[in-house]
Structure 1
Amino acid sequence: MTDKTPGYFESVDSGFEPTRWSASQWSSAQVVGPALCGLMAHQLELEHATDGFVPVRLTVDMFSAARFAHTTTPTVRIRDGKRIRVADISVLQNGQPVARATAVLLRPSEQPPGALWTRAEQPVPPQRDDSTMSHRPPLFGSDANPDTWSLAPTDNENDSRKRTWQQPIRALAEAELTPFVRAAIVGEATSLVTNWGDKGIGFINTDLTLALARLPEGLDIGVEADNHLSEDGIAVGTATLFDRRGSFGSAMVTAVSNAGRQISTAQLDIAVRGRTPTDTAHP
């Protein structure tokens, strides 16, 4: 693999190996959450999104630190009905589970009649369209700077609502991203935008629940925080996912305090620069 095709994992005989792109900000010895979400989404879609079924929900549990080790991902189909399909996947390292996920897949049909309420104030993508660029670095914004998207997280070091606009790298270096896998990788940023305050990030998420009314369009996806609730070191965050067509899904994370290893906003700046392939630097 070269920097021209970065990916979180590489396929090897009977499994996968994490690459350097998978290193977490919490510890360089751990695999970052988006990598695990992307890998599980890829395998679930590959093996179960068939016969006209589309993935509409992904629920991920990350209950143990994934390491830089040989990884396998067995899946099993739990339910296979005419309109609803459910499948499970486990992430195994050294024979032990470090994460798992469940996907719900539905067969699309016609819309029912009638008008429904929806969120009035929709997230707004950046005016500048970099969708033709490969691996463009993420952008960040907040309500404190509502008309500005920045390459530097430190430009949004405040306690207002956060948002990000991202074009992720591949889950597997050799496999093009599908819209579902793209949504799973970027959707994990729900933890970032909901747990990011004026002194950085002190909560680490243990899960992700992604719900999609439709699959995203284009290469870029935005995540805008809807709410953050926390007490006694436990947090819940919710966010809206959007593309240039509009909002297409929601995400929720629960998180536990990791204040002893608080990630400062300056550290986020360094992490963003380290994850941006050097051959496609943003002008």
Structure 2
Amino acid sequence: MSHAYFRTQPNSHAGGEELVPLPWSGSGWGEGHMRGLAVSGALARATELTVAALGRPELLPARWTLDMFRPARMQPCVASVTVVRESKRLCLVDAVLSQDDHPVARASALFLSPSESPAGAVWSGGAQPEPPPSDTPMAADQDRLYYSEGIGWGDPALAQHSGRKQVWHRAVPVVEGEQITPFQFAAGVADVMNVVSNLGANGLEFINPDVTLALVRLPRSMELGFAATDRVERDGISVGSAVVFDREGVFGTATVCGLANAQRAVDLQAFWTNGNQPRAPR
């Protein structure tokens, strides 16, 4: 795909590189805001590069937690990474995204060393969502499809209802000219959990300050989906969960917290009928 979230340039202030957001990083929550997928992707890229530098190719990412505690703006940002703990069986890494020397988001990644599974049988969940048919139409500048019961996969405007949601996503490169990795893809797109959990009849009325992704493997290709499994809400706070799947089956779970933001709700129906480009409005 020709679009990406960032391009890189030298950081004249502190050395190293900084990430300059491209238009695809823009969010529907407000002009000048950066979408969470770009924030998560930037931190995942920095985290993965750090683990690769340790020379531990056997480690697999098992858990990714993102906290977005300040609005990220459409301006240059810098990712910094700290290895909290490295041992024979795990590596725990923290990452921070900063703008103008102020942190706007942080992430924690747990990498584990795989081994042989024990022989004892253990219960496993039964959710087995179906991905969209491989020939489902998708525009060149469209990155996701929505599933609506009774309608199927397709037009995002038809997904604005109170029913349970599924979203199918394809990869968007984090940095222009770089090949996105499976981990960067999964960790970045995890922010779409807010849509999976909180898109309702009046649009998207909740904003998510976090998301957590847990994986037993990486996606097999550059497309994956989230299917909602549960949601609870009270006093303007919501918690949602989903399974993560690709064309080979379920390979993880995701959870997200939401804060009521009805005064700045994103109306998907209005967005799609006003001649906007066919991408997600956040």
Is residue 2:175 matched to residue 1:175? no
Matching residue within 147, 153, 156 for 1:141? 147
Matching residue within 239, 250, 272 for 1:269? 272
Alpha carbons 1:135, 1:167 under 8 Å: kept: no
The separation in 1 between residues aligned to 2:273 and 2:51, in whole angstroms, is 38
Structure 1 counterpart of 2:14:
none
SS at match of 2:50: helix
Change (3 A) 1:273 1:244: farther
Q: Which amino acid aligns with 1:159?
A: S
Matching residue within 174, 189, 209 for 1:186? 189
Q: Which amino acid aligns with 2:28?
A: Q
Alpha carbons 1:187, 1:241 under 8 Å: kept: no
The separation in 2 between residues aligned to 1:256 and 1:137, in whole angstroms, is 25
Deviation at 1:133, TM superposition (A): 9.2
Gaps of 5+ in 2: 11-16
Change (3 A) 1:131 1:42: farther
Aligned-residue CA RMSD (Å)? 2.3
Is residue 2:262 matched to residue 1:259? yes
Change (3 A) 1:91 1:267: farther
Matching residue within 138, 160, 163 for 1:160? 163
Structure 1 counterpart of 2:63:
57
Structure 1 counterpart of 2:217:
214
Structure 2 counterpart of 1:82:
88
Change (3 A) 1:271 1:99: farther
Is residue 2:5 matched to residue 1:8? yes
Give the TM-score of the pair, scaled to structure 1: 0.89
The separation in 2 between residues aligned to 1:221 and 1:106, in whole angstroms, is 22
The separation in 2 between residues aligned to 1:15 and 1:128, in whole angstroms, is 37
Change (3 A) 1:158 1:186: same
Q: Which amino acid aligns with 1:148?
A: G
Structure 1 counterpart of 2:229:
226
Structure 2 counterpart of 1:94:
100
Alpha carbons 1:30, 1:67 under 8 Å: kept: yes
Is residue 2:17 matched to residue 1:20? no
Structure 2 counterpart of 1:245:
248
SS at match of 1:35: helix
The separation in 1 between residues aligned to 2:275 and 2:210, in whole angstroms, is 22
Structure 1 counterpart of 2:33:
30
Is residue 2:120 matched to residue 1:114? yes
SS at match of 1:171: coil
Structure 1 counterpart of 2:13:
none
Structure 1 vs Structure 2: percent identity of aligned residues? Answer: 34
Structure 1 counterpart of 2:132:
126
The separation in 2 between residues aligned to 1:21 and 1:163, in whole angstroms, is 22
Deviation at 1:55, TM superposition (A): 1.1
The separation in 2 between residues aligned to 1:77 and 1:270, in whole angstroms, is 46
Gaps of 5+ in 1: 277-283
What is the CA deviation profile of residues 162-205 of structure 1, one whole-angstrom value per residue up to 9, with x for unaligned ones?
A: 00111121111121111111111222111101101111110000
SS at match of 1:7: coil
What is the CA deviation profile of residues 127-169 of structure 1, one whole-angstrom value per residue up to 9, with x for unaligned ones?
A: 2357999765411113x32x6101x222223211000111121
Deviation at 1:267, TM superposition (A): 4.2
Deviation at 1:218, TM superposition (A): 1.1
